[in-house]
A and B are shown apart, each in its own frame.
Chain A
C-alpha cells in the first residue's frame, strides 16, 4: 500500500551508523514537523517526567512511612508535593494525551499529517521548554539564603500564600511563568487537533464515523480551550500582583483570595476531564477489539462525552465547599457535581455491554482496561461521596481526597495510558512489547495501586489531612501509612519493569506486522511503523470500522450502523 518513499530524513531510523548520521538523525528530530515524530517526542518527554515525579512521590512516601520522620526537611517535602502535582498534571498528563493524540488522530481519520504541522512543532517545543523552565527552579529559582528553590506553595497555589510577602523568592514566579508558557503550547496543540479532526478526514469519514478516540480528543481539545484560558489569566494576574503592585488577590489591600480559587478551579476541575476523556477514548478503542465486538451504543458514547464536558464546566466550586459559600451555592454545586455521574455511568454501562457476549482476550492492554473499568467505578462512587457537600466538609483536603483523585488519575488515566502503550507500541515501533513483562507490570502495579490508594481512603477518614510532611505518633495513622508507602514501592518496581520493557522490546520484541491485534481502525492498515505521510493513497471508508469491512466483505458494518 504505502511503498512510496519521501526524501525526508529519519523515518524512525533504527540503525544510525557513523557520527555524521547520528547528528543528522538528531537534527531530524529537532526540526521535524511530522505528527508521528512529534507525538513520540511528546510521549518520551512525558515518560521522563513520569519517572521524575514518581521519584518525588517515592521520597514523600519514605518520609511518611513512619511518624516524626526526618528523611526530608519540611521545605523539601513541600517542594516535592508541589512539583509532583504540577509535573503529573502538566508535564505528564497533558503532554502524554497530546502526544498520543498527535500520533493517532491523523492516522485514524486517514489524514497524512495534522492540519498545522508547524504549529504542532511550535506547541511541542513551548510545552517542552515550559517544563524544563519549571525544573530549572530547583537550581536557579533562588529563595531564602540564595539557595535553589522549587515552587512550594502546592499545585493549587492558593493566594495569598503566593504573595511576595509570604513567598519572597523566585520559586512562585517559575511556577506561574512556566504554566503560562506550557498553557500556550497546550492551546496550540488543542487548536491543531480540532482543525485536523474537522477538516482533514478522509473520504467517507463523517463525524459519526470517527473512531471514539478521535471524538474524545476533539471534546478534550475543546475543553482545553475553555479551561487553559482562565488558568493563564489567573497566572498573569498573579504575576501582576507580585511585580506590578496589583491587588487582585492581596487581602491586605482589599483583594480577594477567593477570586484565585474560582479562577483556579474553573480551570482545575475541567482539567481532570481534559485528562480522563482521552483515557475514555483509549478504553473505547481497546475494549471492542479485545472483546471482538463493535462498541455498544456509539452515539450514546459520543453524547455522554460531550455531556461530561458541558457538565464539567459547572462543577468547579465543589473544591470550595469549605470556603464559606452560602448554603444555596453549596447545594447548587453538590447537584451539578452529582450530575456528572449520569453520563459517566452511561459510559461504564456501554463498555460493559460491549464486553457482554464477546470473546474477551485478556492480553495486557485489555487487562489494564478491565482494571480501569473497576477503578473508574470506584472513583466515580467516591466522587459522589465528595459531592455530598456536608460529607465533603469532613473529607475535603484529607487523604480521602488524595485517594479519590489518584483513583481517577492513576487508577483510570494512567491505567488507560499503559493500555495504550501495550496496544499501539507495535504500531509505533514495529515490535511487540513483551507480554510476560507486561503481565508482571500489570499485576505488580495493580496490587501496589490498591495497597496504596485503598488504604488512603481509610487514613483520610481517620482525620489525616493532605500536604503534611509529618504526623504525630498517637494519631493511629502509623500502620496505614506504612502500608501506603509499601504499595508505593511496589508501583515503583512495576513502572521500572515497564520502562525496561519499552527499552528491551524496541530491539528484541517480536515483529508486529501491520495489524497484530486484528483490529479495525485505519492506523492498522499502514505498515508498522507507518511511513512518513502515512497513506500512499487516501483511504475511503464506509463505516466506523473500515478494516472490519475489508475483513468481512459479506457482513460489513455499513449495513447495520445507524
Chain B
C-alpha cells in the first residue's frame, strides 16, 4: 500500500456539503423560526433555565465521558481472548476504600447541583411582582384558552398579547392561572417553563419577553380528546402596537347594518348561549369571546387560520378541524351560515 504524503488539500466539494451539514445540524438543534424550542429563550425565566441547563449539561456530560469511557475501556481491555478460557481470572471481592471514594464524589456533585438549582428556583419563583407589571388571568377550558386583562377590561381567547419588556423599561406580565374544568398546563417554551392550571388551585407565573414577535406553545397536560389542538400564540408587541391593540380590544363589537341579518341569527340561535359579543345580547361564557374575532389570526385554539372559508366550515361542523371539540355542529342552512360568517368577519 502507498503511504499518503501529508494532508490532502481541502476540496470545496467536501467543504460545502459539510458546511451544509453543520447548518442542518444547527437548524435541527434549534428548529425553525416557528419551533417552540427551549434552546432559544427570549425572556428572563427561560434564559435563567437555559443557562442552568447548560451548566447541568456540562456536569452530566463530564460524568458521562468518565463513566462511559470506563465502560468502553473495560469492554475493550477485558473481553475474553482466544486461549485464556482455561483458568478463571483473579477473584476480587471488593474494597472499602474504593467504595468510599465513589460514594463521596457523587455526594459532592449532588451538593453543587443542588445549590445551583435552589438559587434558580428561588430567583424565578419568588421574584417580587414589580408595580409596572401587567396582570393577565389565564383560564383553561376544554380545549381553548381564555385571557382576561382585569386592569384593562379586556377578554380575549387563544392569542395572548403582551408588551415587550426592556432593560430600561421592564414590563413583565404576571399570569394568574385558573381552570374552568380539568387540568391544563400553560407552556410557551421560549418564554418560560410551564405551570399547570388546576381547578380550585390558582397558580401564578411570570414572563418578560425581551424580543418582539410571535411565540408558540400549547397545553402540556392531557385534558381530553382535543388536548393536541389546544395551541397558544403569544404576540409580543412593541409598546405602541400593544397600546393600539388594547384600544381596539376595549371597543364593543362593531355594529354594521349591512350584516344585521347575520347578527340577528347569532343572537337568536344557540350561538349566544356560549359566546359573548360585547354590545349585543350575546353573553355566553362557555366558549371564546368573539367581540374582536377578526383581530385573531386563528380559530379553534390555533387549529385553523381565521379565514371566512374556515369559519364557515367550523360553524357547519367543528369536527372537520377538531374532532371532539365541544362546540356542536350548528345545523344552520347554507344561507344562514353565510349570513353569520358575514357578520363575524366584521368583528375587527
Contact = CB atoms under 8 A, between A and B. Distances in A.
Given A334-B118, A362-B79, A475-B216, A322 B195 contact: yes
A469 B95 CA distance: 52
A338 B113 CA distance: 8
Contacts of B151: none
B10 interface: no
Interface stretch (A26-34, A126-134, A287-295): A287-295
Given A390-B49, A458-B29, A298 B102 contact: no
Interface stretch (A46-54, A191-199, A346-354, A485-493): A346-354
A215 B219 CA distance: 43
B279 to A, nearest CB: 32
Interface stretch (B128-136, B164-172, B221-229): B221-229
Interface string A447-473: 000000000001001110111111110
Contact size range, B: 35 or more
B115 to A, nearest CB: 10
Contact of A256 (B39, B56, B88, B201): B201
Interface residues of A, number: 100
Interface string A337-374: 01101100110111011011111111000000010011
Contacts of B114: 334-335, 338
B63 A78 contact: no
Nearest to B126: A327
A252 interface: yes
Contact of B220 (A357, A458, A465): A465
B338 interface: no
Contacts of B339: none
A484 interface: no
B327 interface: no
Nearest to B37: A462
Contact of A385 (B36, B56, B68, B229): B56
A537 interface: no
Contacts of A374: 68, 71
B198 A323 contact: yes
A346 B105 CA distance: 10
B77 to A, nearest CB: 8
B324 A465 contact: no
B31 A385 contact: no
Interface string A359-400: 111100000001001100110010011011111111111100
B222 A358 contact: no
Interface string B211-236: 00000111111111111110100000
A524 to B, nearest CB: 16
B175 to A, nearest CB: 12
B38 A388 contact: no
B110 A338 contact: yes
Given A331-B121, A362-B79, A397 B220 contact: yes
Contacts of A270: none
A249 B231 CA distance: 27
A346 B79 contact: no
B80 interface: yes
Contacts of B99: 297, 300, 346, 350
Contacts of A356: 74, 78
Interface in B15-67: 27-29, 31-32, 34-39, 45-46, 48-49, 52-53, 56-57, 60, 63-64, 67
Contacts of A463: 31, 35-38, 187, 189, 216-217
Contact of A465 (B70, B78, B187, B200): B187
B200 A256 contact: yes
B107 interface: yes
Interface in A20-70: none
Contact of A78 (B49, B85, B201, B225): B225
Interface string B226-249: 111101000000000000000000
Query: 4 closest A-B pairs (Cβ-Cβ)?
Result: A393-B193, A463-B36, A251-B199, A476-B35
Given A345-B102, A462-B35, 9 more contacts: A161-B224, A166-B224, A258-B201, A335-B118, A339-B110, A393-B193, A397-B220, A463-B38, A557-B91
29 contacts: A74-B324, A158-B183, A166-B181, A257-B201, A258-B201, A291-B78, A294-B91, A294-B92, A297-B98, A324-B177, A324-B198, A338-B113, A342-B110, A355-B75, A358-B78, A359-B88, A360-B79, A378-B64, A381-B60, A381-B64, A385-B60, A389-B117, A393-B192, A393-B195, A468-B227, A472-B231, A476-B27, A476-B34, A562-B93
Interface of B: 27-29, 31-32, 34-39, 45-46, 48-49, 52-53, 56-57, 60, 63-64, 67-68, 70-71, 74-75, 78-81, 84-85, 88-95, 98-99, 102-103, 106-107, 109-110, 113-114, 117-118, 120-122, 124-126, 142, 177, 179, 181-183, 185, 187, 189, 192-196, 198-201, 203-204, 216-229, 231, 302, 323-324
